[in-house]
């Protein structure tokens, strides 16, 4: 069963990467997006910010108007693409969107001509690939998004592979044990299913952008929501690796080769050594997936806000990404995004004067007012308390993570990083005062890291005063990786200033190798996260996934803890332990009595209460290794379930089979109708040789 779940998880990851290929290679052209930057990170930032944040308001709007289904999504996307194409062609000087030049100039080729040109280019690429392959040369090509990832550019290749590795490492705890670590995972699964049913009132007091985006992805890719909840952290980390690389590139400005090395080191720190610099383990909980996803939209928002006066597309990207962050996580919106945007406004006020900063300030105030108005309307419409809503967003008790408490070597390392950051702040501040304006971004990033490092020092005791530190871990992990990259950038730049270019080529590789080796060595000496019992016994989740994959929906009933009811929504019948023990014996007796007193086939007998063809009993084994508050009664309830099964076996005519067993749990199957719940017998049922009733005349 574990192998089946792992295979499906990896196959789902492959399907998401395939859809990502389509997303970043076809949709940018359909929406007339263009990014001429030679940096791969900037193209990922622009495309993800545009397309990802454009999907969220579409999905939420359709759900609010009860139009959310696959057909509604596709029709809306096609309508937007058609509108963008028509408006874009009119701006390019075409007449009524037909692609014909309004003046006598030569316009773009018509649709059939473009298709022929596309075919010719594909044939030429295939021919070149075959010729180079015959000569023994590398000719691997990627979509336009990944232009430059080839054997000729090792830094881009290393970036892409490191990002893949970082995303894959986040799947390690899921492959080992897919049982969620927190109860929030089950509530999120229930919210995703409620969003698909367009029941948005049940999602509050939480913003439902996260659930809407996962519901949309599940519908388009046909991947089960359970798998998506396990994969969302992995995919978001993959995207953020490109963002970290790009931020270091911007900080380095003209030092291209130095920036490649420093950016790659920052990505390696974020992707491969999370326990060293993130201060949390690989499995931090569902909230960190939401926060990381919100950060992936916050970075494009800050980027577009900086260039907001350049093009209309930047203003559109700013508006969409800001709404996306606000609809996913209000904490990130208030404590991370708004301060960053305020710093950008202050920067333009100091450097460019109030004439250029007044427009940005107006956009920021207007967007913030729009977000406040939307949430105030929803809270008033659904009759919620403003105080309870805000407390749930900013001081959520379910977000507590035992791994976030710094101890042992972590606290001294963080404190050394703080003093190192102060030193670089002083150095870059002196350079900025001497006219080196290119160091402003580095100065700002070092200040952000040092200010956040202060929040985690125990002597300040800021845990519950005005900010909940556990909710900042995702962004702190992100900015810490950037911090390591900037340190490497300054060290390599210092070596470059003291030596020749030839010396630089001999020192960059050793510096990179020594940094990675040192980080790996220290990582193994870190205390691991404080282990907490799982929400369910090991084996429950894999067994349920096996049952849901091989059985016909609503032909079986699952008996388990109440937290598993979210798994059963829209899939199968469910009974809690207490309901099962109090009522099912009576249902079983009436069913057996009815079957014994009639000669009719079981399918034709009318029952007042009829058991499902298969009943699956999920029972834990001693010692009970799970969170006992998940099961009302705890160990006593498990003993009662085992006793009930022993008594049930003694009854005549009862069929009990052992479905799955390990050292933590045992799953029984009570069979009332043999073979009627499995998918394969129904799919491969062979018809008899009797003539079809229509031709019996």
The pLDDT, as a whole number, for residue 501 is: 53
Q: pTM for the complete prediction?
A: 0.78
Residue with tokens 């963080």, as numbered in its chain: 414
184: nearest Cα among 450, 471, 446:
471
Q: Could you read off the pLDDT of 491-536 as tens digits, one per residue? A: 777 766 665 555 555 555 565 566 555 555 544 444 444 456 677 8
Query: Roughly how many angstroms between the first and final C-alpha of the chain, as a whole number?
Result: 51
- CA dist 158 and 553 (Å) reads 45
Report in angstroms the alpha-carbon separations of 121 from 26, 134, 144, 647, 661: 16, 20, 14, 73, 57
pLDDT over 80 (residue 49): yes
Angle between helix 501-523 and helix 256-272 axes, rounded to 10 deg:
10
266: nearest Cα among 471, 485, 490:
485
The pLDDT, as a whole number, for residue 440 is: 74
Out of 40-54, 597-611, 614-628, which region has the weakest mean confidence (pLDDT)? 597-611
The pLDDT, as a whole number, for residue 276 is: 47
The pLDDT, as a whole number, for residue 90 is: 65
Cα angle for residues 654, 658, 663 (degrees, 5° grid): 145
pLDDT over 50 (residue 243): yes
Full strand arrangement of the beta sheet holding 665-671: 573-576, 556-560, 614-620, 665-671, 656-661
Q: Are 269 and 484 in contact (CB under 8 A)?
A: yes
Q: In the chain, what are the domain boundaries?
A: 242-279+402-529, 540-683
290 burial via Cβ count (<10 Å: 0-12, 13-18, 19+)? buried
Work out the pLDDT band at 401, boundaries 50, 70, 90. very low
Q: What is the 3-state secondary structure (H, E, C) of 412-451?
A: HHHHHHHHHHHHHHHHHHHHHHCCCHHHHHHHHHHHHHHH
pLDDT over 70 (residue 81): yes
Q: Could you read off the pLDDT of 105-158 as tens digits, one per residue? A: 444 445 456 656 766 777 787 777 677 666 654 444 444 444 444 333 567 777
Residues 6+ apart with CB under 8 A from 408: 526, 527
- CA dist 114 and 19 (Å) reads 24
The pLDDT, as a whole number, for residue 133 is: 64
DSSP letters for 554-591: TSEEEEE-GGGHHHHTTT-EEEEHHHHHHHHHHHHHHH
The pLDDT, as a whole number, for residue 299 is: 92
640 burial via Cβ count (<10 Å: 0-12, 13-18, 19+)? middle
The pLDDT, as a whole number, for residue 309 is: 62
Out of 39-48, 291-300, 406-415, which region has the weakest mean confidence (pLDDT)? 406-415
The mean per-residue pLDDT over the stretch 433-453 comes to 73
The pLDDT, as a whole number, for residue 618 is: 92
Q: Which strand (E) or helix (H) includes residue 660?
A: strand 656-661
Work out the pLDDT band at 666, boundaries 50, 70, 90. very high
| SS3 state at 669 | strand
Report in angstroms the alpha-carbon separations of 590 from 156, 244, 556, 587: 69, 65, 19, 5
The pLDDT, as a whole number, for residue 123 is: 78
Phi, psi torsion values for 496, nearest 5 degrees: -65, -35
| Pairing mode, strands 614-620 and 556-560 | parallel
The mean per-residue pLDDT over the stretch 424-450 comes to 71
């Amino acid at each position: 069963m574990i192998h089946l779940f792992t295979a499906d998880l990896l196959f789902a990851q492959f399907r998401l990467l395939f859809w990502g290929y389509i997303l970043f290679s076809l949709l940018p052209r359909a929406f007339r997006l263009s990014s001429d930057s030679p940096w791969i990170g900037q193209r990922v930032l622009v495309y993800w910010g545009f397309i990802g944040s454009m999907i969220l308001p579409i999905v939420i709007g359709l759900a609010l108007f009860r139009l959310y289904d696959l057909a509604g999504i596709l029709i809306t996307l096609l309508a937007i693409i058609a509108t963008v194409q028509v408006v874009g062609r009119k701006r390019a000087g075409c007449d009524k969107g037909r692609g014909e030049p309004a003046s006598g100039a030569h316009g773009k080729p018509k649709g059939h001509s473009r298709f022929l040109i596309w075919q010719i280019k594909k044939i030429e690429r295939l021919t070149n690939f075959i010729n180079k392959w015959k000569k023994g040369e590398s000719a691997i090509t990627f979509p336009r998004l990944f232009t430059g990832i080839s054997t000729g550019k090792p830094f881009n290749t290393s970036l892409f592979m490191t990002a893949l590795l970082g995303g894959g490492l986040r799947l390690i705890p899921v492959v080992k044990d897919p049982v969620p670590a927190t109860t929030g995972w089950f509530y999120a699964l229930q919210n995703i299913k409620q969003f698909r049913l367009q029941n948005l009132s049940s999602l509050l007091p939480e913003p439902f952008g996260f659930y809407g985006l996962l519901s949309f992805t599940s519908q388009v890719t046909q991947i089960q929501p359970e798998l998506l909840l396990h994969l969302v952290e992995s995919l978001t980390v993959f995207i953020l690796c490109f963002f970290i690389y790009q931020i270091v590139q911007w900080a380095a400005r003209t030092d291209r080769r130095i920036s490649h090395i420093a950016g790659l080191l920052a990505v390696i720190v974020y992707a491969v050594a999370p326990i060293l610099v993130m201060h949390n383990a690989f499995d931090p909980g569902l909230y960190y997936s939401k926060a990381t996803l919100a950060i992936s939209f916050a970075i494009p928002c800050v980027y577009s806000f900086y260039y907001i006066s350049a093009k209309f597309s930047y203003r559109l990207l700013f508006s969409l990404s800001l709404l996306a962050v606000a609809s996913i996580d209000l904490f990130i919106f208030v404590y991370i995004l708004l301060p960053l945007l305020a710093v950008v406004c202050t920067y333009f006020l100091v450097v460019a004067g109030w004439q250029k900063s007044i427009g940005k300030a107006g956009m920021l105030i207007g967007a913030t007012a729009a977000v406040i108005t939307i949430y105030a309307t929803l809270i008033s419409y659904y009759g919620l308390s403003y105080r309870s809503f805000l407390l749930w967003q900013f001081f959520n008790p379910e977000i507590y993570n035992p791994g976030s408490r710094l101890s042992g070597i972590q606290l001294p390392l963080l404190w050394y990083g703080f003093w190192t950051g102060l030193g670089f702040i002083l150095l870059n501040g002196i350079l900025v005062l001497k006219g080196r304006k290119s160091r402003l971004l580095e100065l700002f990033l070092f200040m952000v890291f040092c200010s956040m490092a202060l929040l985690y020092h125990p002597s300040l005791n800021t845990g519950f005063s005005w900010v909940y530190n556990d909710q900042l871990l995702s962004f702190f992990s992100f900015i810490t990786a950037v911090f390591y990259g900037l340190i490497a950038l300054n060290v390599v730049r210092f070596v470059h200033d003291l030596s020749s270019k030839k010396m630089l080529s001999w020192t960059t590789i050793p510096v990179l190798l020594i940094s990675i080796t040192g980080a790996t060595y220290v990582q193994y000496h870190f205390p691991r996260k404080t282990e907490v019992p799982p929400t369910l016994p090991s084996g429950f989740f894999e067994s349920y996934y096996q049952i849901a994959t091989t059985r016909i929906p609503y032909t079986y009933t699952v008996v388990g803890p109440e937290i598993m009811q979210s798994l059963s929504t829209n899939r199968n019948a469910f009974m809690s332990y207490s309901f099962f023990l109090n009522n099912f014996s009576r249902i079983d007796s009436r069913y057996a009595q009815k079957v014994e007193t009639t000669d009719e086939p079981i399918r034709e007998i009318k029952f007042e209460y009829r058991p499902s063809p298969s009943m699956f009993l999920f029972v834990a084994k001693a010692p009970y290794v799970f969170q006992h508050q998940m099961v009302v009664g705890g160990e006593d309830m498990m003993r009662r379930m085992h006793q009930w099964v022993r008594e049930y076996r003694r009854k005549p005519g009862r069929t009990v089979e052992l479905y799955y067993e390990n050292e933590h749990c045992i799953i029984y199957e009570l069979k009332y109708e043999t073979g009627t719940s499995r998918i394969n017998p129904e799919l491969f049922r062979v018809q008899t040789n009797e003539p079809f009733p229509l031709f019996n005349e």
